[in-house]
Every structure is written in C-alpha cells, then in structure tokens.
Amino acid sequence: MQQLALPDHGVKLKQEAGAVLLFDPLRRKWVAATPEEWVRQHFLNHLVQDLGYPPGRIAVEHGLRMNGRAQRTDALVFDAQGRPVLLLECKAPHVAITQRTFDQAGRYNSVFQVPYLMITNGMVHYCCQLGGVRGTFHFLPMLPHYTRLERPIQT
C-alpha cells in the first residue's frame, strides 16, 4: 500500500481468499483494503493516537439520507453530548481534492451541521472551521485536538 503523509500507527493487514483486508478497530472487523480505506484507517488512527479523539465517539461510515437516497460519511465525530462536531471525507491518494469534493462534504454537512470539516486523500489535508454565519468558513493549518472541538467556535 502507498506511503501517506500521515503518521503510521500500524494498520493491520492480512490476505484471505486472494483479497487483501485491513482491520478497522472502530468497527471491529476486517474490511477490503481499498486505497480509500487505507487513507481512512490512517486518518482515524491519527485522530485517536495523536489528537485525543475517543474511539467511542467516532462513527465510521455513518449513514444519512439525501434526496431520498442512502449515503454514508467516511466518519463522523461526536462530542460528549452526542452532537456531531467533525465530518471526515476521505479519498484515495490518487484522487485529487477538488471543489467537487468540498461540495460533497458540504452536502453531507447540510444534514449534520458540524463546526468542522476534514477532507483528505492521505497526501493533502484540508480542515475547515465553519462559522456561526451560514456559509462562512476558515481553513485551519491543522485539525485541532479533540478537546478543542468541544469548545464553541469563534466567528
């Protein structure tokens, strides 16, 4: 699998019936080792290991309905009160992050109304803090520690 611009906390891999699988500790199951899943697992490990995100407050492939169709976020992080605070959108390393990617995250966020969006392809990372006024956002140089997400955002 490709080296990413993320810390390597040891994603577990195995081969079974000719397929490469990786272990998702949050979902507690082996999943197909696609390039996007590789990015997601590295980023989730970064959240937990480096930025203090409690594993029990992260929902992987959290479902939502848009225009009557079932969709899934890559991950959604909740605060201590069970409110969503961060939406994570992952792409494979070879997929460029474009306006279309931001539009996708924005559509998902129209459902969740999180104060933070994180978009990554494992090589390039974008973190946005959404302001109190609809449509305003600020790019952050890095994703805050989990304890900072629980504080009200400043606009």
Domain 13-149 sits in CATH at 3.90.1570.30
Domain ranges of the chain: 13-149
Encoded tokens for 6:
């993320």
Instruction: Average the pLDDT over 21-44 and give the result.
Output: 95
Q: Residue 11: its pLDDT value, please?
A: 92
Q: Does position 137 have pLDDT exceeding 60, yes or no?
A: yes
Q: What confidence tens digit (pLDDT) does each residue in 52-78 have?
A: 999 999 999 887 777 778 778 899 999
pLDDT number for residue 155 = 46
| Predicted local distance difference test score (pLDDT) of residue 72 | 86
Q: Does residue 154 surpass a pLDDT of 60?
A: no
What's the pTM? 0.90
Q: What is the pLDDT of residue 132?
A: 61
- Among candidate residues 58, 7, 6, 50, the one with its CA nearest the CA of residue 28: 58
